[in-house]
Amino acid sequence: MKILNRFIEIKKISTQLPSVENNFYFTKKPYEIGDRFIWSGEIASVKSYGYVKMAKVEPDTLNDEGALIYKSEKGLVIFTGCGHKGLRNIIEHSKQLTGVSTIYAVVGGMHLRRAMPWSLISLRNYIKAVNPERILTCHCTGKWGKLWLPGAEEINTGDVKHLL
């Protein structure tokens, strides 16, 4: 969060605000929110991901990204943030955590805006094998990344989609 021209971690701010301090639960571990909703906890990186900064590849140091997982009767619905940990890692983590192998939908940012074609070919083959019924992409997926995801639909702020 940017405040007064400097960035402050939301975790540091949120714990200092008395009106919301009881509405946050910080954990790196998976957390069951209810019968059907699970917070994935921190997702381990299987390989090192990076991003391009000033024509140089920089390591992606975001360690605490997770996903929200909904256990529907049709399979898992996985809500990603920016997908820094890699879509394959996020899906495999979700399957292992829940014991559910059917993926009904993946929704969110997929972190593919600047991905290389060889990475995207591998991801495309993986997604075809997993065969989610719906793929809804936004922000950091980019138009380039969306092209490689079979049947992907772009969503934007304010869009209403009925998944189930």
pLDDT at position 51, please? Answer: 53
Does residue 160 lie within any of the structural domains? no
Instruction: Split the chain (164 residues) into runs of 10 and give each run's mean pLDDT.
Output: 51 55 72 94 71 58 80 97 88 97 95 83 95 93 88 89 84
35 domain residue, yes or no: yes
3-state SS, one letter per residue, for the chain: CEECCEECCHHHHHCCCCCCHHHCCCCCCCEECCCCEEECCCCCCCCCCEEEECCEEEECCCCCCCCEEEEECCEEEEECCCCCCCHHHHHHHHHHHHCCCCEEEEEEECCCCCCCHHHHHHHHHHHHHHCCCEEEEEHHHHHHHHHCCCCCEECCCCCCCCCC
Residue 139 lies in a domain: yes
- The verdict on residue 161 lying in a domain is no
pLDDT of residue 2: 44
Tell me whether residue 126 is in a domain: yes
The per-residue pLDDT for 40 is 95
Residue 119, domain CATH: 3.60.15.10
The per-residue pLDDT for 62 is: 65
On whether residue 33 sits in a domain, the answer given is yes
pLDDT at 78: 97
Q: What is the pTM of this model?
A: 0.80
Could you tell me if residue 137 is inside a domain? Answer: yes
- For residue 112, tell me if it sits in a domain: yes
Structural domain count of the chain? 1
Name the residue range of residue 106's domain: 28-154
